[in-house]
Amino acid sequence: MEAFRPLRTRTHVPALQRRHPEERFWNAYDRQVCVRFDGAVQAIDFSPIDANQIAVTAESRILVLDAGTGEVRKRFARTDTVAYGGRYRADGKLLVAGTDSGLVHIYNANSRSILRTFSGHKSAVRKTHFTIDKLRVVSASDDMTVRVTDLPTERCLLSIPHSDRVRAQASCTAAPHLWLTGCYDGGVRLFDLRVPNATPVRMIWHARNEQVDDVCFISGESSTLIASAGGPYVRLWDLLQSDGQEQRHSGQMMVAEAERHRKAVMALAVDMQRHRLLSVSLDGTLKVHELGTMMTLHTMHVGVGCLCLNLSADGHVLATGQVDGLLRLQQRVGKASAVAETATRTETTREEHDFVRLARGHMDRGDPSRPYRPGTRRYFLRGMHLEPEPAVDDDIIIR
């Protein structure tokens, strides 16, 4: 049989895979703590006075966990039905939450006791917020109303009707009297709480036949941008581009639209520098968008189906809640620790490199840039001009 000459295959060096800075930043949330609940995680809120405490609304109660370890610090009293939308007040002293039966409970964050119970809604209260002045509670319900209740007197100050269930609301930090709501009719409405009537100041149609599950203000001293999430869409709007009239086609108000998720987007969050917008969806992905252009910078898989999302004020903890009852706390190493680790690693590498050079005889203690090779005259005469160092290893003999 005729012999065959072996075929020589060329081997190529694989191309260097360089990661984008955004990918490196968000992948740094690698320390992960998971806590399992019996029911779906409905809301997540970090304490405004202690970033290491996080209030989680799941099943029929609110629990305060340690954001670093996931250990339960406080357990609040159970509600009669499923609890929704637990949130802290700005001073961290009170907590508010809605229930499936239409009640709104006010808790003392320290003693865990129920201070107030409001009973004005006829259906489930999904979202609850304190106003910035700390004196009122705004609750959004499936009975197609948003109620503003005075905290000291327990009196309803304003009831705002909608045409469908209200599942989203947000307040403006620059103008506390402005209130944003998202409805299941596809509309995003801006209200002035100082006006006694229920006429919206601005009206935006997020999408036809699509529910709105979350809305948020892009905070800033002069910012007029808002973001809305509904269906697979995340859109950015400019409030000043509207003439105040109700518009079915709000294309002129839309600044940008983000890359679509595969399923409905349930929650939005803005990072600490107000440069990135985060969105989570029922498809189990978290997308990071650049504000302004809404270009997707990074995508990560965070679970089965996410209902809520929050980012701590210092940016060290990223929390997501899922429909299967899993709370995922992803932690990022602090900047000081990262700098210290880098400095230690650099110093160790330098010492190892110097030791290798010294062992090979290619390093001089006085001038590392001029290596002395063994066998040369310089190597033989090395150190003859150095001054003695008694503190190191030299003995001085005086005669």
Select from 197, 196, 267, 206 the least CA-distant residue to 237: 206
Q: Are residues 333 and 346 in the same domain?
A: no
Share of the chain above pLDDT 70, in %: 77
First and final C-alpha spacing in the chain: 91
Q: Is position 390 within any domain?
A: no
Q: Is residue 24 part of a domain?
A: no
Tell me the mean pLDDT in the region 365-387. Answer: 64
Q: Which of 373, 247, 229, 375 lies closest to 309 in space, CA to CA?
A: 229
Please check whether residues 220 and 273 belong to one and the same domain: yes
Distance CA 205, CA 346 (A): 55
Best CA proximity match to 236, nearest among 220, 225, 251, 221: 225
Residue 122 domain flag: yes
3-state SS of the chain: helix, strand, coil percent to 5? 10, 40, 50
pLDDT of residue 198: 77
| Residue whose C-alpha is closest to residue 35's, from 312, 303, 281 | 303
Domain that holds residue 357: 342-380
Give the type of residue at 137: V
pLDDT of residue 288: 94
Under 8 Å between Cβ of 59 and 37 = yes
The two structure tokens encoding residue 104: 């709104």
Q: If you search the block for the tokens 């327990």, which residue do you land on?
A: 154
Q: Model confidence at 317, in pLDDT bands (50, 70, 90)? A: very high
* Domain edge (last residue) among 337, 369, 391: 337
CB atoms < 10 A from the CB of 92, how many?
Answer: 16
Same domain, 235 and 293: yes
More confident residue, 312 or 343: 312
The answer as to whether 163 is a domain residue is yes
35 found inside a domain: yes
pTM for this one? 0.76
Residue of 186, 197, 190 whose CA lies nearest to 230? 186
Instruction: Name the domain count of the chain.
Output: 2
For residues 46 and 166, membership in a common domain is answered with yes
pLDDT the model gives residue 314: 86
- Condensed to tens digits (0 to 9), the pLDDT of residues 13-49 reads 666 566 678 888 888 898 899 999 999 999 999 999 9
In a domain, 323, yes or no: yes
Least confident piece of the model among 14-23, 65-74, 297-306, 365-374:
365-374
Q: Average the pLDDT over 211-230 and give the result.
A: 83
| 159 against 291, higher pLDDT | 159
Q: Please indicate, yes or no, if residue 300 is contained in any of the structural domains.
A: yes
The letter for the amino acid at 339 is: V
Q: Cα–Cα distance between 47 and 158 in angstroms, integer?
A: 28
- Nearest CA among 216, 246, 215, 247 for reference residue 230: 215
Comparing 40 with 222, the larger pLDDT belongs to 40
Q: Are residues 239 and 319 in the same domain?
A: yes
Q: What does residue 25 show for φ and ψ, rounded to 5 degrees?
A: -65, -50
Confidence of residue 244 (pLDDT cuts 50, 70, 90): very low
